[in-house]
A = this chain, B = another copy of it.
């Protein structure tokens, strides 16, 4: 472990800056997840823990003696959940989020990941890193389990009002992401709507339907709420209001069923005996709905690699966020998006 005294580093490895103060269990889970990622990959990449030097030094003591490639970058402030999304570029410019994203902007990190204030990460990343050329609105994608695997839903909450062009851009970025990161050939794109017919929906989706139909994307038309879980399309495009509601509704399903099954089991002696079995089955069935498997969700459309994690991120989730960020850098997702935009023109 080293402590960065200057933002300049000489490096041959991919280097990921992580918000060590972000999330409900920071810095403990962030550091534990970082250690796991480095151990598991035999130091395939480097990590800079951004945050309070004192706190991070103390927590990393637990792991001393191990040859792991991580450093600490001091940041004196922390953006908490009560701060506005603009805090990173206004009141708290020395926050772990702002410092980490600035490192990335200046080329001192190849990616930035955070389980902290997602609105602040999005705003700070958009303002400091800027947008990719040809992209009007950066978006947050999220993953939903399907009967066929997983689908990428975007926007998951970054943009509450969208124009048709934005939905088209989300589709293009989602297509590239799914194809590169999930190895899905020519991913199918569905436009979330309230009916299959192109005449359905509000003006924005009707116009987006036209744009997508004219594009070179594998657009399969409208998909409905009932088509998401069966996996009718690899990518589901919608505005951030509805995407956020669906995402959070989906996240609440496991605990709803757990509670319900517990109540059913408690009413029946036979069921009580086997409730462990039922619970285990359910746990496995629900596993794919668990954010921790995916680790985090990408911010697409900014000029950089940024991953946002759940506030309750476990070490496993943090580890997966780092692995995902490394993969996005290696696969040059942003380069692919720019190429696709050029082809579409």
Give the complex CA separation of A201 and B250 in angstroms.
Answer: 19
Q: Is A62 an interface residue (CB 8 A)?
A: no
Task: With A201-B160, A230-B252, A249-B225 as known contacts, state yes or no: A281 contacts B285, CB within 8 Å.
Answer: no
Q: Is A3 an interface residue (CB 8 A)?
A: no
Segment with Cβ contacts to B, from A171-179, A257-265, A297-305: A257-265
Give the complex CA separation of A271 and B276 in angstroms.
Answer: 12
* Chain A residues with a Cβ under 8 A of chain B: 147, 157, 160-161, 192, 194, 201-203, 224-230, 238, 240-242, 244-253, 255-257, 259-261, 264-265, 271, 274, 277-278, 281-282, 284-285, 288
Other CB < 8 Å A-B pairs besides A194-B245, A282-B282, 5 of them?
Answer: A225-B245, A226-B252, A229-B255, A241-B242, A271-B281
Closest CB of chain B to A209's CB: distance in Å?
14
Contact A241 B202 (CB under 8 A): yes
Closest CB of chain B to A262's CB: distance in Å?
10
Give the complex CA separation of A181 and B202 in angstroms.
Answer: 32
Contact B256 A201 (CB under 8 A): no
Closest CB of chain B to A117's CB: distance in Å?
12
Closest CB of chain B to A249's CB: distance in Å?
4
Can you list 29 A-B contacts with CB-CB less than 8 angstroms, sorted by A residue number? A147-B256, A147-B259, A157-B194, A160-B194, A161-B202, A161-B203, A194-B241, A201-B241, A224-B244, A224-B248, A225-B245, A225-B246, A225-B247, A225-B250, A225-B252, A229-B253, A241-B242, A242-B245, A245-B246, A246-B246, A249-B249, A249-B250, A260-B285, A261-B281, A264-B281, A264-B285, A274-B277, A278-B278, A278-B281
